[in-house]
Structure 1
């Protein structure tokens, strides 16, 4: 019975030793992993301390990385508040020599969070060993984004863009409402009423009929597009005739050709004619000549002509009334006219008698002339 107890105890002890060894190994691995991830060096040589003054550090913490040219060279050792701001102590693995235009700034380590210290050594003359180092305040992405949003909002409000955008949205809502109600051409196309669709179908049918007529060579357009080249030949002949006419014009043939030719004889004649017309119109405007006097502002000739016409009207009136010798002669009932007609008749009879007696007197003169 005692042997069984001793055997059981040894097995339990072995099991406990195995479990303890495993737990110790896991703990050791966790410690090593933590040291590796944190970047700490347990057996590093002497560290170099650097004091930097900031107005604010934007969430920088102890053990945050310090980078120079993108290479980690240390950690943030301590942060201490003072009246001027925050004094940050850096623990560097290597000595760092800063120059006149150095830059030390706190920046975001990633988009997910975390901060890091970036050092730019600068150029120019090296700084003294006891020189005060001042860091630049960090960029607050959230605050900058908020400022950007405020600036954009102010710009939109100042330029009236929001009002215009709101008006545009209202106009779009109005248009969509009209489309929904089937107003307008597009609304009718989108509505349940297919009247416009049927009209469109009828239009397409008409277009199809027209194209078929054109394809069959009907109508002027069909003849132009048909395989029969009669219209084409006529068009060619017309073009040839136009070419011949243009050739004649270019050679100066015909009146129009002479007008368009280099010979300026017709042009000079036309210019002389225009000059003569200008002279004539000038004389007319000056009131020279009969026509000029008639067209002049002075109405002397017009008054004389009017008086003459009035006198002629008076004379013709007296003649028509049978006044005066000429009026009585022109009147059918005037005794002077009757007597004048009788006188004319007597004169005519006397002339006839003389014509009949003329042969006898001629014979008598010849007969008695012999003796």
Structure 2
């Protein structure tokens, strides 16, 4: 009897321990799955959930706030995810918050991350649907990385080839790097450019100084630019210059007409200037006139000694002497 009682007690103890372990396990799993926590149901529709399963966790600001309750097909090819979210946390989630699919670690289970939302919008309510944002596809990311790696290898090979040519002195850059003469010429060019830059800066400074002087009051150019009273005088001067130019042009035309007439033998002056025969005749006439005048003077001198005029000239001479003595 004692052996049977002892066996029954041991069996009862093991059964009790098994039930206790089962209850603790259920409570633990229920606590992890938020089975015994008041929750609200939120939804999100994705084009692709990337392996998300029922029971996966939901995170908000780095805190686990619920689990995936149900996954259903939606529309033609989309997937609707129903989420259990703790009611105590729902007051921090806004109606304009977004939901995306991420991974728990680099290669961990898929999770849903709720983020964003502004205080201008009200808090979520039972059955609200959040805007779904598709995550970056890992496969596409790996393809992109593979393509980038390939491009990096090509760039490395090209760089290796380029540095080899530079070291061998090929090309302009290689020649400059290996040829000392070209290097000296290049340094000389840089020195000339530096001097040109210095001269340019000096010229700019001089120009600024000259401009500052022009802007000083009392300067003639400054007065021309700023003094409005000079403008009418300048305009009047320009009008006078235009009138003078017009008169000069008219005078030039008149001089040209006179010159044309002087060059023409059809008038007296033109004949005097241009007709050689007339000039020769005029010269002969003048010579004859000069000769006649000379002979007339000789005749007048001889007339003084002739008898009829002798007395008259003597009386004239006496009168001049008497006038000179007084």
TM-score by length of 1: 0.36
Q: Considering Cα pairs closer than 8 Å and 6+ residues apart, tell me whether 1 or 2 has the greater RCO.
A: 2
Larger-gyration structure (1/2): 1
TM-score by length of 2: 0.39
Structure having the larger proportion of residues in strand: 2
